[in-house]
Amino acid sequence: MTPSTDAVETDRALKAKHRKMWALGNYPAVASQLIPSLGPVLVEACGVRVGRRVLDVAAGSGNAAIPAAATGAEVVALDLTPELFDAGRERAAEEGVAVEWREGDAEALPFPDEDFDTVMSCVGIMFAPHHQAAADEALRVLRPGGTVGLISWTPTGAIGELFKTMKPYAPTPPPGAQPPPLWGTLDHVRELFGDRVTDLDAQTRTVHIGLFQEPADCREFFKNNYGPTIAIYRNIADDPDRVRALDGALDALAQRCLEDGGTDGMDWEYLLVTARKA
């Protein structure tokens, strides 16, 4: 069934909004200062190696694409927000690896069927608003027997709680858009992939974040660097009471995370999933 003109325009506007949001602040700083270890974890879990053709969906600045390329694999890094590629290109050049950078939508991948040996995403594809469409596209471009690998923030972990905390201050999401941390729920991933995959393995892990010593440090880092947080603060910028309330809520969340993480930082929970296309 061909989408109506109105539906196409609505989707185009939504994707433009997402692109603008992720271009806010400095996501490459988030990736490099907070979670640089996640990309290599995903690459290892997917068994990426020389000779493999790899797609990193919603790659950002290449947190997973660059270590994948370092194995000798042929890597394409795709993202809706090409403004993030400059930092990725610079880092790839520093490390002496080749990555092909492509602008594109996770829900409409610009590649033929069965084009890749590995399709992976490191806290990226989870932010595509229509989860089933993104999952269908990831499997469409993957060859039979190929590996799909995902790292996603869990709903109950620090970033899942961050989105829950920010939700009351955010605009109402468009119809059909789903919360990103659902990808961090195994039952949801099983439902999205169904019987199109085999050998599905899921592990709940944590990544240690040692950058923040005080709640305000964490809050200000996200307010200055993380696109979704910046967008929500802009949404309430004309209401000082709501700004103060969100400041307080984020500080309280950061305090809980610091207490749970012990004396030297926070532990952020994520779900690592790998599977083979049937």
Q: What is the pLDDT of residues 211-241, one digit of tens each?
A: 999 999 999 999 999 999 999 999 999 999 9
Closest CA to 57 of 9, 127, 5: 127
Least confident of 66-75, 124-133, 167-176: 167-176
Residues 6+ apart with CB under 8 A from 138: 57, 106, 109, 119, 121, 125, 148
- Tell me: pLDDT of 268 over 80: yes
The arithmetic mean of pLDDT across residues 118-141, rounded, is 98
The arithmetic mean of pLDDT across residues 248-271, rounded, is 92
What is this structure's pTM? 0.95
- Tell me: pLDDT of 187 over 90: yes
The arithmetic mean of pLDDT across residues 125-138, rounded, is 98
* 3-class secondary-structure state, position 143: strand
The arithmetic mean of pLDDT across residues 125-129, rounded, is 97
Amino acid in the structure at residue 93: A
CB 181 within 8 A of CB 160: yes
Per-residue confidence (pLDDT) for residue 175, from 0 to 100: 87
* Structure token pair of residue 49: 């190696």
- Tell me: pLDDT of 77 over 80: yes
- Tell me: pLDDT of 2 over 70: no
Q: Quick one: the chain helix, strand, coil %, rounded to 5?
A: 50, 20, 30
Domains and CATH numbers, the chain: 5-212+266-277 (3.40.50.150)
- Tell me: pLDDT of 113 over 80: yes
For a pLDDT cut of 70, what percent of the chain falls above it?
98
The arithmetic mean of pLDDT across residues 44-72, rounded, is 98
**In terms of pLDDT, which residue wins out, 9 or 189?**
189
The arithmetic mean of pLDDT across residues 101-110, rounded, is 98
Q: How far apart are CA 101 and CA 103, in angstroms?
A: 7
Per-residue confidence (pLDDT) for residue 61, from 0 to 100: 97
